[in-house]
Amino acid sequence: MKRFFAAIMAPLIAVQPLSALDNEEQIWSIAIHGGAGVIKRENLSPEREAAIRAKLDEALAKGSEILKSGGASMDAITAAIMVLEDDPNFNAGKGAVFTWDGKNELDTSIMDGKTRNAGAAAGVQYTKNPILLARAVMDNSRHVLLSGAGADQFSLEQGLEQVDPQYFYTQSRFDSLQRYKAAQIKRDAANAAAKASLKDIQTDALGRAYRFGTVGAVAVDKDGNIAAGTSTGGTTGKRWGRIGDSPIIGAGTYADNRSCGISATGTGEYFIRLAVAQEICSRLRHRFRREIDKAQLTVPKDAEGNYTYIVHAREFELSDKQVQEEADAVIAELGDIGGDGGIIYVTPVGQSGFSFNTEGMYRARSDSNGTKVIAIYGDE
C-alpha cells in the first residue's frame, strides 16, 4: 500500500500506473509445489529428502531463469512443471501412481491470467509431459478439457512426445498399489456386514494416496501476466475413470491478472466442491475493492466536502498479510468439510506464498527481490 500513501502526500499529482512501475523494476515471481500430505521427517530418508530438495531447486531455477531474462510466465511454469514431471519422486509424469487396474492415467491443466484462456486433459496414458498437452489444448483447440482416448489422439496429432506406458512404471508406485489393494480388499470384507459408506472408504483411500503428490507452478512476469499450471497422476488405486481437481479449471488451477494465480494439491474431491483455486482469486478481488474503499475514507476532504484525491486501483495493492489471510481462509474451509492439501499463489504485483493444512508440502518460491525459499515440512 506504500504507493497509495505516497499518492496521498501529493494528492493532485498524476500517479504513474502500477503496470508501468512494474515494467521499470522488472518485477517477477514464481512458486512451485510437489504435493502436500502426511510428510514427516521420520518418513523421509536423508537421501530422499536431499533428492527432493534438489529437484525443487532445479525446477525453481528453470522457471526463474526464464522470468529473469524477461520471458513469459507461461513459459516459466511450463518449464518448471516439466522438471517435476520427469522425476519419479513426484506424482506426475514419470512418477505417476497406479490406478486400481494397474495403469497410469495422467491429469493436467494450465491457464493464462491475461486472456483467461485455459487447457486441460484427463486420463491420458501416452504423453511424456502432460503439461505440454494442456498447453496444446489451450493454444491449438477450441476446447478447454479433453479426456481419455480423445486426449491421447489429440496429443499424437499435435506432435507431442509419446512414450510407451511402461515409461511411467516405477517399482515403488506399483508396490504402493499392491499394498493399497490388499488393505482395501481386507477393509471391504471387514465392513461388508456393516455396509460401510463409500465416503468412509474414499476418505481412507485418499488419506494414504498423496504422500508424494501433484505438482504445479504459478508465476507472474515483468509484464504483470500471471500463469498457473498443475499436473498429476491422481490417487493410488483410483477406479471408474476418477478425475480429481487437477484438470478442473477453478478447482485445481486458476489464473486471473486481476487477482492471482493458484495451483492446488490434495484431496481433489474437496477442492472441486469448493472450487478452491477460483474461490481464492475471487476473494482477493473482493478484498481489493473493500480495501480501496476503506483507503478512500482516509483521504482529506476540501471545504465543500469532496475528496481531494481519488484512490485508483493501479496505485493500490493488498498487503502480504491480507493476501495470506484470504488464502488461509479458503484452506480452513477446505478443512472444515473434511479436505486436506494446499495451494501456491502469486499476485500481479509479485507476492507469492503457500497455504496448506497438512503436515508438510513440497514447495519453493523465488522472485526479483532475491527471495528464495525451498521447504518440505510444516515448521519450515
In a domain, 51, yes or no: yes
Judged by DSSP in three states, 127 sits in strand
**Is the pLDDT reported for residue 269 higher than 50?**
yes
In a domain, 163, yes or no: no
Q: How many domains does the chain have?
A: 1
Average pLDDT over residues 62-90: 97
**Is the pLDDT reported for residue 316 higher than 90?**
no
In a domain, 15, yes or no: yes
**Is the pLDDT reported for residue 207 higher than 70?**
no
- Which CATH number is 17's domain given? 3.60.20.30
Average pLDDT over residues 332-344: 97
Bigger pLDDT: 345 vs 211: 345
Query: pLDDT band at 193, cuts 50/70/90?
Result: low
Q: What is the CA radius of gyration of the chain?
A: 22
**Is the pLDDT reported for residue 290 higher than 60?**
yes
The sheet that has 215-220: what strands, in order across it? Answer: 145-147, 118-124, 106-112, 226-232, 215-220, 29-37, 360-367, 372-377
In a domain, 132, yes or no: no
Report the alpha-carbon distance of residue 89 to residue 358 in Å, rounded. Answer: 19
Catalytic residue, candidates 127, 214, 230, 265? 214
Answer yes or no: 253 catalytic: no
In a domain, 154, yes or no: no
| Residue that is written with C-alpha cell 488451477 in the block | 253
Q: Using one digit for the tens of pLDDT, what is the confidence trace for 215-236?
A: 999 999 999 999 999 999 999 9
Residue 69: give the domain boundaries: 2-97+198-377
Report the alpha-carbon distance of residue 356 to residue 354 in Å, rounded. Answer: 7
In a domain, 273, yes or no: yes
8 Å CB contact between 40 and 376 = no
Most confident of 21-25, 187-191, 202-206: 187-191
In a domain, 82, yes or no: yes
The sign of the dihedral angle between the CA atoms of 282, 283, 284, 290 is: positive
Query: pLDDT band at 127, cuts 50/70/90?
Result: very high
Q: State what percent of residues in the chain have pLDDT above 90.
A: 77
Which of 330, 348, 138 is CA-nearest to residue 256? 348
Average pLDDT over residues 89-95: 95
| Residue that is written with C-alpha cell 476532504 in the block | 301
Average pLDDT over residues 325-352: 97
**Is the pLDDT reported for residue 203 higher than 50?**
no
